[in-house]
Structure 1
């Protein structure tokens, strides 16, 4: 393929195939590292999301200690194999799709238009979520069950297919799609906006310092997850439902509202997300940016200067 048409000066020496491959690689590593780091907290959050129990930080830590005592240390990472099976392609696709959607929507040529920037992030989230959704459902099932019920990711898919049918793999898909639009849109919009402000007022560097990008990712994670959290509750209820209690999005919303209310129902576990979310998103965005740029600079024609040397033509 020909040279990339992206206006970013860091990409002028690359073909679009090289842009995509470096983005896929960096995204896969970033997602795996971030999700593995916060896997025990993620499992804890899901267990509260799907139950009628009220949530508190104290109860969350009691769940962690009980799991550790009864099932062992590695049980805290139960379901992480399913997470990796999903997050590696999900994160790779999401970051790559975001970069490509920005190019298609000509975000950079429009001076970082807020609407186009948000839309690029939202479309990236929709693209990656749609292509990897069954793995998200499998991860949720493993997180809330004992290993005797589902001993492996393969067994999850086998049992769901033979007991519940193929349609079950897409349970919770609609609230997931609805929720991922504000989540991914706001996350990428916030992160890119903070990077732009940083370059304009602090340091116009070739690559933003990892600590700064991690901080920007943390802020983006808090904002993105807070705006879409109620839909996360709905999708988890539907994903882990094997009794028909939550048959569709509307009835799930009505049930949660009537039985638990808005705050205790739709925002259950949000404080846990404010702990794990910034960590995960911060690690993910920072790792992605730094690995991506390192890979691109290592290709023929890439910049040999310090990654933190200011460049007047950087975005």
Structure 2
């Protein structure tokens, strides 16, 4: 009986430690790349052709016109979303790994790449489903005028004005499809690299730079694969809010219509901007931002979890 109680207590402690460590990891990672993230969203939701040089000019223009804080505009909404999102994602991943017998501590663990991908995919879908309205509001804050969406509460009020609660889930379908691919590939790549490395003859703990490198590589793989769905979801999320926010920064709004479905949005982007320039706009910036964010996130989570569970 005592052994059972001890096991149950440890499981509860592991859940709470995963929630805490995931929240901290997500907050640190997203704050680190917030200016690049906002720049990416502005291009994703405009018709201007993307280049790294143009993105750099946009960052400078935001700073010159609105100050350093403008580079982190919408970060309060990002924190309100990313902390519960990352907490749920990392905790859910641990639980799905146990359920699918992918933990080394599991009874008779299975070496299954498919299950490893499924655990990451389900974790991302679970977290995204529970925090989606915050993601929607964050996107609108990033691209709008300050007077339109000054803070999180006003943004929710503006979004709900004259509509139903379903407005809080506009763009949900491409988001869930994208996160299923992105999260599955990211966790699969990171866990596979760690497993292959630590299962060698000279078994040892990973160094800091190794954790970051594996996380960065996982981010590149995940985001490159799911990027077109990220474009579609951003267009749908920010539909009808972009005119002033883009023109103030010298960008032309991409919202010539109210995007309704995943299919119609994707077809409109492809027909008006092409596949490469439309569906992959800003991808090169994501190759800078994504690896940093994912590398930091996985590294902070692993180190913080290790510290807490060994203390």
Q: Which residue number in structure 1 is paired with residue 297 of structure 2?
A: 284
Residue 276 of structure 2 corresponds to residue 267 of structure 1: no
Q: Which residue number in structure 2 is paired with residue 59 of structure 1?
A: 54
Q: Distance in 2 between matches of 1:275 and 1:36?
A: 15
**Which of the residues 241, 246, 249 maps onto 2:259?**
246
Q: Which residue number in structure 2 is paired with residue 212 of structure 1?
A: 210
Summarize deviations over 1:139-194 as a string: whole Å, max 9, x none. Answer: 10010012121110111001111244321110100000111111000000000000
Is residue 86–residue 132 contact of structure 1 (8 Å, CA) maintained in 2?
yes
Is residue 102–residue 109 contact of structure 2 (8 Å, CA) maintained in 1?
yes
Q: Which residue number in structure 1 is paired with residue 123 of structure 2?
A: 124
CA-based RMSD of the aligned residues comes to: 1.5
- With structure 2 as the length reference, what TM-score do the two structures score? 0.90
> In the TM superposition, what are the counterparts of 1:5-154 in structure 2 within 5 Å?
15-108=10-103, 109-154=108-153
Q: Distance in 2 between matches of 1:223 and 1:143?
A: 25
Is residue 23–residue 92 contact of structure 1 (8 Å, CA) maintained in 2?
yes
Q: Mark the runs of 5 or more structure 1 residues left unpaired by the alignment.
A: 6-13, 299-315
Q: Distance in 2 between matches of 1:290 and 1:111?
A: 25
Q: Which residue number in structure 1 is paired with residue 226 of structure 2?
A: 228
Distance change >3 Å, CA 202–CA 221, structure 1 → 2: farther
SS at match of 1:15: helix
What is the aligned length? 289
Residue 307 of structure 2 corresponds to residue 294 of structure 1: yes
Distance change >3 Å, CA 106–CA 62, structure 1 → 2: same
Distance change >3 Å, CA 176–CA 202, structure 1 → 2: farther
Residue 210 of structure 1 and its aligned partner are, at CA, apart by 1.8
Is residue 160–residue 166 contact of structure 1 (8 Å, CA) maintained in 2?
no
Distance change >3 Å, CA 202–CA 50, structure 1 → 2: farther
Q: Distance in 1 between matches of 2:58 and 2:237?
A: 21
Residue 102 of structure 1 and its aligned partner are, at CA, apart by 0.5
Q: Distance in 2 between matches of 1:169 and 1:75?
A: 25
Is residue 175–residue 231 contact of structure 1 (8 Å, CA) maintained in 2?
yes
Distance change >3 Å, CA 281–CA 4, structure 1 → 2: farther
Summarize deviations over 1:99-131 as a string: whole Å, max 9, x none. Answer: 000001112434431010000000000000000
Is residue 2–residue 16 contact of structure 1 (8 Å, CA) maintained in 2?
no
Q: Mark the runs of 5 or more structure 2 residues left unpaired by the alignment.
A: 241-254
Is residue 30–residue 285 contact of structure 1 (8 Å, CA) maintained in 2?
yes
